[in-house]
Chains A and B, each alone.
Chain A
């Protein structure tokens, strides 16, 4: 069975600190996708990144970076120099490869990590 674990329920940091959100996943599939989403207080999920299981290169996008390690089944997310606007709930998610062309399969979510960045 597929599972995503975000062990950190809540994290509180002071602005400009770096923070890492942990994500550990379980799957028997050899082809799968990993995601991170941000959910601000408004409720809408904002897509941050999608990685497939064959691409272990780390990725950086501005202050955001992701560390994908298949050996430890982890896909951690780091925010450098955090800002108050980063305060949100962050979800890690996993999906199977598509059963047939046209979709990516269903998303399995972790329970989320609530990040509070204080000025």
Chain B
């Protein structure tokens, strides 16, 4: 079955380290997204990519970076510039507008700074 795979499920980062969260999809979706979820805050958009080799900043892009070298992959790097990275990170992809199903989400990565 097609879907989105996020890894790792849990990640611990030391102060000053960069870490990369993996997101892979086999749904043949063009668009992919990264969201951050904090308790009681809902989901906020970090970065999104509508097509390979192109991506745009979302509402809270500072301290994060992404790449989109392949259609299937959209890794997120949390840099040392992100001062409060502890959160739950969700990756998503979306089909063309004519499809009935909405966005598909991965199972998330929980990042903790230690």
Name which residue of chain B comes closest to A45, CB basis.
Answer: B105
- Number of cross-chain contacts by CB at 8 Å: 76
Chain B nearest Cβ from A101, distance in angstroms: 7
Is residue B30 contacting chain A, with contact meaning CB distance below 8 A? yes
The verdict on A77 contacting chain B, using a C-beta distance below 8 Å, is no
Query: Which secondary structure dominates chain A's binding surface?
Result: loop
Is the Cβ of A50 less than 8 Å from the Cβ of B101? yes
1/0 contact string of B77-105 vs chain A (CB within 8 Å): 00000000000101010111100111111
What bracket does the count of chain A residues touching chain B fall in?
20 to 34
Q: Is A106 in contact with B40, judged by CB distance below 8 angstroms?
A: no
Assess A43 versus B88: contact at CB under 8 Å? Given A106-B45, A111-B40. yes
Task: Say whether B107 contacts A9, CB under 8 Å.
Answer: no
List B35-62 residues whose CB lies under 8 Å from chain A.
35, 40-45, 48, 50-51, 58
Query: Are A104 and B97 neighbours in the complex by a CB distance under 8 Å?
Result: yes
12 contacts between A and B (CB under 8 A): A9-B40, A33-B97, A35-B103, A98-B96, A100-B50, A101-B96, A102-B31, A103-B31, A106-B45, A107-B33, A110-B42, A112-B42
